[in-house]
Amino acid sequence: MSYLKKIIANCLFIIGLILLASCNPKKEKVVQSINQELKAKPNILFIAVDDLKPELNFYGATHIQSPNLDKLASESLVFERSYCNVPVCGASRASILTGLRPTRHRFLNAFTKKDEDAPDVNSLPMTFLKNGYTTISNGKIYHHGDDDKNAWNEIWHPETKGNYYALKENSDLRTDDDRGPAFEVAEVADSVYSDGKIANKGIRDLRKLKKTGEPFFLALGFMKPHLPFNAPTKYWEMYDEKKITLPENYIQPETTPSRAFHKFGELRNYYGIPQGNEPIDDELANKLIHGYYASVSYVDAQIGKVLTELDRLGLAENTIVVLWGDHGWNLGNHKLWCKHVTFESSLRTPLVVKIPNVTKGTKNNNIVEYIDVYPTLCELSGIEKPTHLEGLSLLPLFEGKSIDKNYAVSKFKDAVTLIKGSMFYTEWINDKGEVSDRMLFDHTNDRLELNNLAEKPEYRESVYELSNDLRTKWGEDFLKRPLK
């Protein structure tokens, strides 16, 4: 080859490299490098924990005993600022499993059904099923046991017949009006309660799936720490009730719109809880917090059993583990109990994702939303993302890179919240999008959300900007009525 030809060939080679690099976005490189660590079609272990708030040891709550979740977190990417899109069971689950935002008319409450609100959409399990995965739903994944049933090879529930109590004296207290006591301390084996049964079913499934060698999407929906706080005695004994204190923000300031609060009707459904507007006295409040903590430690132990089996079977090496709670919970925060509000205590959720040989306990501070989970799992598994998804894949965050989004939009009834930087902005709207009340907290100096800035003149411009921003981010269907 002549000297000139060599120069031309080299130039063409370099131009080719430049073109290749410009056509190959950063995201593709991330996908490739993470996927090199996984075999084709990695398994997914999808763990939902009902009403689990991020008051956990690995999130800095050192008074909580959650050794199994702590271990999982140490092997995962831990999302410090993860938010649900709807703070109520049924709607939150339908949203995360479809990758769709809630709107004024979609994903409204605990009884939401995917089949009714998004019947034509391929859910996360359906997409994995269509891509050759075995999909199994155990326990509470959707709120309704038969929702989206075609997405699963198998749907299994522990037999409870609606009775979640181990002790006869407590189950006898259940009536048409009362759900029974809000908590139970019982000297029983873990497997007497539903979550012990769900863990055992998960273990049986893993053994079966190991033998078939088929890729799997195994979903385990644990039911604690949802009310009633029923747990074996040994988990109650992990905490000294005398040392439990009410949260620092056990207060409802007058500057906060009154409609931001509720009367925690969900808790009042239980036997022995004061009715109407009656307050919860401190003794009962401490007992409830104790029960929640015991339930967290109980479910932690059950999840640990499944993860130990995943390791023992040698499946952990090619299994992505995702753990999420469906929303936060008010343990006396804002003098509230349960969820159903748009304070951070109700919206912030635990989210950890373990990618074997990749994640090692790093904490990430990017604001993420639950609708981001679906596209992330697709990309991690090399599955094409359906076009309906409204979230963004978090994949670059697993390599310490950034993504083009750093906010969350959550919604409950008329309240819509934009979480952006340190600002938590909520407005209450009607069907036309007209605003009636506003709430703004700046977490830079008000983590407890006690100082509503929305009506202060000096924040007028911030409120105007946040309100406009919220409207560009809440999704194009937000105000649209469904055609039916």
Nearer to Ca ion, 50 or 148 (CB): 50
Catalytically annotated residue among 23, 105, 143, 378: 143
Among 44, 50, 268, 350, which residue interacts with Ca ion (rule: CB under 5 A)? 50
List the beta strands (DSSP E) in 216-359. Answer: 216-222, 229-232, 319-325, 330-331, 337-338, 348-354
Select the span of 320-328, 341-349, 376-384, 471-479 touching Ca ion (CB under 5 A): 320-328
**Residue 266 lies near Ca ion (rule: CB under 5 A):** no
- What is the smallest separation between the CB atom of 276 and Ca ion, expressed in angstroms? 24
Reference 227, options 167, 138, 287; nearest CA is 287
Among 75, 205, 266, 326, which residue interacts with Ca ion (rule: CB under 5 A)? 326
Scanning residues 330 to 389, which ones bind Ca ion (CB under 5 A)?
none
For residues 237 and 235, what is the distance between their CA atoms, to the nearest angstrom?
A: 5
- Encoded tokens for 157: 């529930």
Contacts of 98 (CB under 8 A, 6+ apart): 114, 118, 121, 123, 124, 374, 388
Phi, psi of 338 (to 5 degrees): 75, -160
Q: 230 pairs with which residues across the strands?
A: 184
Helix (H) or strand (E) holding 49: strand 43-49
CB 383 within 8 A of CB 132: no
Phi, psi of 94 (to 5 degrees): -60, -35
Question: If 0-12 CB within 10 Å is exposed, 13-18 middle and 19+ buried, where does residue 118 land?
Answer: buried
Q: How many binding residues for Ca ion (CB under 5 A)?
A: 4
**Residue 96 lies near Ca ion (rule: CB under 5 A):** no
- What is the smallest separation between the CB atom of 296 and Ca ion, expressed in angstroms? 14
143 is catalytic: yes
Nearer to Ca ion, 92 or 297 (CB): 92
Catalytically annotated residue among 11, 23, 89, 226: 89
Nearer to Ca ion, 326 or 449 (CB): 326
378 is catalytic: no
For residues 266 and 48, what is the distance between their CA atoms, to the nearest angstrom?
A: 20
- What is the smallest separation between the CB atom of 50 and Ca ion, expressed in angstroms? 4
Nearer to Ca ion, 143 or 287 (CB): 143
- What is the smallest separation between the CB atom of 224 and Ca ion, expressed in angstroms? 11
Among 48, 51, 299, 437, which residue interacts with Ca ion (rule: CB under 5 A)? 51
- What is the smallest separation between the CB atom of 226 and Ca ion, expressed in angstroms? 6
**Residue 89 lies near Ca ion (rule: CB under 5 A):** yes
- Name the residues annotated as catalytic: 89, 143
Q: Which residues bind Ca ion (CB under 5 A)?
A: 50-51, 89, 326
